[in-house]
Amino acid sequence: MPLQLDQDALERDLVRDEGLRLRPYLDTANKLTIGIGHNLTDLGISVNVAWFLLDEDIYGDSEGSAKVIVSLSNTLPWWLDLSPNRQRALANLAFNLGLGKLLTFRHALDFLRRGLYPQAADAFLDSLWARQVGARAKRVTDLIRSG
């Protein structure tokens, strides 16, 4: 006999019973859970979901939440005048640090805005961030230097 499940009804039941939680939480079995009862502890996420989340984090979602690209464009409009590689470096920094923390790199950002790329790269490298992320800092600052 073929499956005759009413998928819409099941989904409504699960939303009612599990709830919709957009932040991770511990369920009654002490499992890290998110969404509509998705067990992160045992199941994790799929590759497709990981790529979906990356796109949402970079470009925003259907609700227009400000993510990397929108946040940079609203806060540092001059970043759009940078070369593609320098834009890539700044987006990588914003993704890694978060916009608030990135904005604390006042000297580096001022050098970058003024086209003083070696100084900007050096300023980013002379930081706790660079010591924490190691090779990533070198890759990102190489993009800033070379454009």
The pLDDT confidence band at residue 66, using thresholds 50, 70 and 90, is low
Q: Once rounded to an integer, what is the mean pLDDT over residues 46-54?
A: 94
Average pLDDT over all residues of the chain: 93
Residue count (the chain): 147
By CB neighbour count within 10 A (0-12 exposed, 13-18 middle, 19+ buried), where does 68 fall?
buried
pTM of the full structure: 0.84
DSSP, res 81: G
Nearest to 110 by CA among 121, 122, 120: 120
The domains located in the chain, with CATH, are: 7-44 (no CATH), 68-146 (1.10.530.40)
Identify whether the C-beta of residue 94 lies closer than 8 Å to the C-beta of residue 68. Answer: yes
- Work out the percent of the chain whose per-residue pLDDT is above 70: 96
